[in-house]
Structure 1
């Protein structure tokens, strides 16, 4: 790797670690920690699975279409997520940064990208397209999920940023590509 590119990468990694530590330092506030754990747990997939069951029952034809897109995007996202994780093999901040500890269960050993952020962003975009009145709430929740993963010591900011961007990209493709 060229020296200038290597030094840029090291600088970016150090900046990412500093931001992760700065956000993680707030985890000692009990109310914030409880909120972050709650957001992270709801982002585990149970909420998304429940939506796949409820939308067709409660949403009529639009609910069926939305649930169908959620399921297909979820499957594509899982394939992308596991491929990138296996390729990058980035350790979690709680495993390599002094001062950062895991404050929630760790689903696997690798950090990049954040699957929670990926799914939260994808589902927020898809659900917002079908239920626009819920968009502010959905995007606020997606942001909370992403923040929770960093505050709880499980991800770097770049993990949640890239997870969110991948989720937005796949949901956009579904809405404007394979979904119509």
Structure 2
């Protein structure tokens, strides 16, 4: 049997430290309407809300909306590749797999937990909007925060998965706007 990697040993320790917190959140939110809310948020966070937002940006902001929509679509693909590579190499089991006392309230999209892809995308798009369309960013903020919370509430992620997803997504979104927003606008303008 191969020896465990440094990442797997780290995650085993982190899992033990985060278990009680995850379990308490998971157990405290068993009120059906609240659980249903987080299930809907999670489903919309699968991409549906972001796809609708990207498609509506040219209508909401005719000047910079088309460029921002293009940039968000490309950046979203970058986010997907990033979190899939990280999950493949870091291999952290989801809380409900490691600890059967944690209830999985909705089926996960993939096997592993670190980082939270939902949170990564949500924070990426939140930062992109904050830098380009601040009023729209304020409208979207409650959804972004709900997506992040849903990951722990539904038993799918540890808080550190959510925090890592937020940091990585925020960095990708910020870099994308800083480096490529002007280029995307110029490409569509001329």
Normalising by structure 2, we get a TM-score of 0.85
Question: In 2, Cα distance between the equivalents of 1:163 and 1:7?
Answer: 20
Specify which of 149, 158, 163 is matched with residue 161 of structure 1: 163
Question: In 2, Cα distance between the equivalents of 1:82 and 1:39?
Answer: 21
Counterpart for residue 13 of structure 1: 15
Is the partner of 1:76 in helix, strand or coil? helix
Q: Decide whether the 8 Å contact of 1:150 with 1:156 is kept in 2.
A: yes
Q: CA deviation at 1:165?
A: 0.7
Counterparts of 1:12-161 in structure 2, within 5 Å, are 12-161=14-163
Q: Which runs of 5+ in 1 are unaligned?
A: 1-5
Q: Structure 1 pair 161/42, CA: closer, same or farther in 2 (3 Å)? A: same
The CA RMSD over aligned residues, in Å, is 2.1
Structure 1 segments of 4+ aligned residues over 4 angstroms from their partners: 6-11
Counterpart for residue 178 of structure 2: 176
Question: In 2, Cα distance between the equivalents of 1:54 and 1:119?
Answer: 18
Normalising by structure 1, we get a TM-score of 0.89
Q: How many residues align?
A: 177
